[in-house]
Chains A and B, each alone.
Chain A
Amino acid sequence: MEGKTLTRADLAEAVYRKVGLSRSESAQLVESVLDEICSAIVRGEDVKLSSFATFHVREKNERIGRNPKTGEEVPISPRRVMTFKASNVLKSRIIDGHTSAAKGSKAKKAG
């Protein structure tokens, strides 16, 4: 397992490598894809990306919370939150990737 953190620059690099646009245009397109997804979510639309995931917007009602330090009760205002539901394809890709890596490292130790 590598344990790196990828950013926009890595996504732009992938677009550059796979689609063959210039680096700057690849970066702009990554930005506009993310912008369009954000705008749809902010409008309250669900975003469904087949074989990847669904971003769903949920409306939460006001509820009474408690400050865990002081025990004081405070109202939590109604709000909108976004939920992420991974597709089965994404889930199984992740499980496959991790189980094969685990087996690989065990094999190395044995060898």
Chain B
Amino acid sequence: MIKSELVQIIANKNPHLFLRDVENIVSAIFDEITDALASGNRVELRGFGAFSVKNRPARTGRNPRTGESVEVEEKWIPFFKTGKELRERLNVDK
């Protein structure tokens, strides 16, 4: 499923909304999550999962081809932990 298909499904279930409104709703949700993570917050959605940011400190790396040392800058990466309910729903038949 891609974003436009998600928008279409939601639009079909809400015939009183314009497609453009649904696009804005879906964008608002993911923009809000992005903004939260960019400003150092986390987002916890019970039953779905939690988005957070992990810090990777600066380190001295090595170019695997040449063996040369390179300084790798500190960075922050997004992290997602699947919620318990979704994890269980993925394996109900197992």
Interface residue ranges, A against B (CB under 8 Å): 1-8, 10-11, 14-15, 18-19, 21, 26, 29-30, 32-34, 36-38, 40-42, 45-53, 57, 77-82, 84, 86, 90-91, 93-98, 101
The reply to whether B41 and A49 form a contact with Cβ atoms under 8 Å apart is no
Interface residue ranges, B against A (CB under 8 Å): 1-3, 6, 9-10, 13-14, 21, 24-26, 28-34, 36-49, 53, 75-80, 82, 86-87, 89-91, 94
15 extra interchain contacts, Cβ-Cβ under 8 A, other than A80-B90, A84-B79, A97-B76? Answer: A5-B41, A6-B36, A6-B43, A19-B21, A26-B25, A29-B10, A29-B25, A34-B45, A42-B90, A49-B2, A52-B34, A84-B49, A94-B37, A94-B76, A95-B76
The reply to whether A15 and B25 form a contact with Cβ atoms under 8 Å apart is yes
Closest 5 CB pairs of A and B: A97-B38, A1-B40, A84-B80, A14-B32, A98-B76
Contacts of B13 in A (CB 8 A): 32
| Nearest-neighbor residue (CB-CB) of B92 within chain A | A42
Contacts of B38 in A (CB 8 A): 93-94, 96-98
The distance in angstroms between the C-alpha atoms of A52 and B34, with both chains bound, is 8
Contacts of B86 in A (CB 8 A): 38, 41-42, 82
The reply to whether A98 and B53 form a contact with Cβ atoms under 8 Å apart is yes
